[in-house]
Amino acid sequence: MNYPATRDAALDQLEQFVGVSGRYSRDRNRVVPGHGSVSCLSAAIRHRLVTEWEVASAPLTRYAASTVEKFTQEVYWRCYWKGWLSQRPQVWKDYLRGIEEHPGAERIRRGEGPVGVMNGFTRELRETGYLHNHARMWFAAYWVHVARLPWQLGAKFFQDHLLDFDPAANTLSWRWVSGLQTPGKTYLPRRGNIEKYLHPDLLDPEGLEQLENPVAFLPEIIENPAVTRPGLPENSLPEGDFVLWVHEEDLHPEISPLAKLKPSRIVVAGDFSGRSKLQKAWLGKALDDAAVRAEKHFGVLAVRVGDLVAWARENGVSEVVALRPEVGPLDDFIPSIEAAGVKMNLIVRPEDRFLRAFAAAGFFGFWKKLQGRMEKGEFPLEGNGMLL
């Protein structure tokens, strides 16, 4: 498996994965060389080279819904996290404010800590931009409960290296491991669990004894974050000439409320500030791919630019239409674009609006409601669960 950065490559990998998806619930926790028991599609999904509902629907062409329920559920965990954070955006701001350097962190980030398997995960993260879910859980739990480092600094380490870095999935998973997301519930890195699920070739024994009886490092204060539920804009689709901005938060405008419109110009631009070399390379390729597809679909030249504001100024553009980014770095960047004189018309995907409404409380309630809608054929919304 690799981490596809084009839509075609992601669809090929999805097709390949569908073949093994019947074994996903049995094998998904096993961390094996090459990661053959999971899809490795997270970067493609996170940046919407493929949509969550396309990915979740694909195994249903071969298996009964009950056989692949675990996989479907995992894909929608991501939508749940996004919907949850979107109703409590202050949790993202608090995370950013809470990032503070700590003297014990660098050694572990360099892969020179006392526990060999954790050093292996650090190397993999830096070299590939990916870690298996179980490895992420072990590493985060080690960071917080054994190394006793601030969770925000660990989340930032992931933010700086994951190709699939996602403000909701990453921040909320780190909070969950730390006992903040589900108050009182922490996740601990246990030697026995690692020995059971990590392939022997990856099982460096150095320092494993430190994980024999880990003790939870409980947060002092657990605040239940307020549900502020900021409103989503009503979609106001342009009628005349308009400029379409395609960005890294959603690289698939061809299947979206914008698909049937006719932009007069397309600009493809991302915000790469603070990204690692690997992240920049992946995003650059994915944006190039989106530019080619958008040009073909809309029949208009798509220009790839480094700086949206500078391009808008040079071309006398004062308003752009784009798919709405979720809470996170690009969303944080939008006020400065508007302050520079480029007005935004942000369009919400109907699926995002639909799923967000279910994500006010816990995952179980979200999943029950969604599953009910799926069984009645009401989700994915018409036409959007199908692969082109």
Ligand X SMILES: Cc1cc2nc3c(=O)[nH]c(=O)nc-3n(C[C@H](O)[C@H](O)[C@H](O)COP(=O)(O)OP(=O)(O)OC[C@H]3O[C@@H](n4cnc5c(N)ncnc54)[C@H](O)[C@@H]3O)c2cc1C
- With CB under 6 A as the contact rule, the residue among 74, 94, 206, 254 that binds ligand X is 74
Q: Which residues ranging from 239 to 278 are in contact with ligand X (CB under 6 A)?
A: none
Q: How far is the CB of 10 from ligand X (least distance, A)?
A: 10
The 302-304 sheet, strands edge to edge? 302-304, 265-268, 243-246, 319-323, 343-347
Q: Which two tokens stand for residue 324?
A: 């709405």
Q: Which two tokens stand for residue 12?
A: 């090929």
161 binds ligand X (CB under 6 A): no
- With CB under 6 A as the contact rule, the residue among 47, 49, 77, 268 that binds ligand X is 77
- With CB under 6 A as the contact rule, the residue among 78, 145, 156, 275 that binds ligand X is 78
C-beta neighbour count of 270 within 10 angstroms: 23
* DSSP notation for 326-356: PTTHHHHHHHHHHHTT-EEEEE--HHHHHHH
Binding part of the chain for ligand X, among 5-13, 74-82, 211-219, 246-254 by CB under 6 A, reads: 74-82
Q: Cα separations (Å) of 140 from 137, 147, 186, 251, 290? A: 5, 10, 11, 29, 33
Q: How far is the CB of 85 from ligand X (least distance, A)?
A: 12
Q: How far is the CB of 21 from ligand X (least distance, A)?
A: 9
Q: Do the beta carbons of residue 254 and residue 289 sit within 8 Å?
A: no
Site string for ligand X, 94-133 (x = CB under 6 A): --------------------------------------xx
- CA-nearest of 135, 146, 152 to 113 is 146
68 binds ligand X (CB under 6 A): no
Site string for ligand X, 39-58 (x = CB under 6 A): xxxx--xx------------
Q: Which residues bind ligand X (CB under 6 A)?
A: 28, 38-42, 45-46, 74-75, 77-78, 81, 132-133, 136-137, 140, 158, 162, 164-166, 169-170, 173-174, 177
